[in-house]
């Protein structure tokens, strides 16, 4: 990493045990290393815009931090208070080392693909993990037709469809039967949720593909991006999903490369 940040914006949203002590320790060690810290969502962030975002908590906290970092076009890193994952890498006992590496400009940088969904109102919704199209009525399947680069692909009868990034492949997409994809790759992973077909399988598309999803019945479909409730589509309405124009940038100590993170995340050591 060539540019050393001056102001660190902290995102702390978990409310789990021990987080206050870790936050206080992080602030003290950051100040001792020459960094200013601000609440990334507090009023002081407007006066001292952060040029690095740190999420302290679990993967959910870092996902929120990564959204803010992507919006501000600054890097993000996570201090882990959960289990080993792809996002939160720095353990509390390694805070001092991380800050020293940061001050020396010796942290690595990883760019991760994002995803964007254009809804009928012309709004563009940006995500890091996935775009989910799901049924509104719990007991009724929906029909969604899919076009790839303006060519008809297929129509799904299912509870919904997921389009995930490689980073998001281990979230909802995985639980719906999707593949685990190395986050160094760029791809759009489409996974049907409870499809009413024996032949429905996940499909991986090139990152330059434009995927258009159109509601093919009178049953409404809700579009969510990274779990944030979005618009509801009526019959004939579409959402277009593409790779995001700009990636999200993660700083890394190189502690957990992909194979090791996957092994720990899914308990493969005990399989």
Q: Provide the b/e sequence for 158-186 (b: ≥16 CB within 10 Å).
A: bbbbbbbbbbbbbbbbbebebbebebeeb
Catalytic residue among 39, 51, 59, 130: 59
CB 85, CB 69: distance < 8 Å: no
Known active-site residue 59: yes
From 250, 31, 5, 254, select the one nearest 105 (Cα to Cα).
5
Is residue 93 exposed (0-12), middle (13-18) or buried (19+ Cβ within 10 Å)?
exposed
Burial class (CB in 10 A: 0-12, 13-18, 19+), 73: exposed
| Residue positions annotated with a catalytic role | 59
């Amino acid at each position: 990493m060539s540019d050393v940040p001056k102001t660190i914006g902290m995102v702390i949203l978990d409310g789990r045990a021990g987080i206050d002590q870790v936050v206080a320790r992080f602030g003290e060690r950051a100040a001792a290393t020459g960094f200013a810290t601000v609440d990334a969502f507090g009023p002081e962030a407007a006066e001292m815009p952060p040029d690095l975002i740190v999420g302290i908590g679990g993967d959910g906290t870092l996902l929120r931090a990564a959204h803010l970092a992507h919006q501000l076009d600054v890097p993000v890193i996570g201090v882990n208070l959960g289990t080993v994952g792809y996002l939160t890498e720095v353990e509390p006992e390694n805070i001092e080392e991380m800050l020293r590496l940061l001050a020396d400009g010796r942290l690595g940088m990883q760019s991760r693909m994002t995803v964007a969904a254009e809804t009928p109102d012309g709004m563009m919704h940006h995500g890091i993990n996935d775009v989910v199209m799901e049924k509104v009525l719990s007991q009724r399947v929906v029909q969604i037709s899919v076009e790839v680069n303006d060519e008809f692909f297929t129509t799904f009868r299912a509870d919904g469809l997921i389009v995930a990034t490689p980073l998001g492949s281990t979230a909802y997409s995985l639980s719906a039967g999707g593949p685990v994809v190395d986050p160094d790759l760029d791809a759009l992973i489409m996974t049907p949720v409870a499809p009413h077909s024996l032949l429905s399988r996940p499909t991986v598309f090139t990152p330059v593909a434009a995927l258009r999803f159109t509601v093919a019945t009178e049953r409404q479909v809700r579009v969510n991006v990274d779990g944030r409730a979005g618009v509801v589509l009526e019959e004939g309405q579409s959402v277009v999903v593409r790779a995001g124009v700009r990636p999200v940038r993660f700083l890394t100590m190189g502690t957990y490369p992909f194979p090791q993170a996957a092994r720990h995340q899914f308990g493969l050591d005990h399989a």
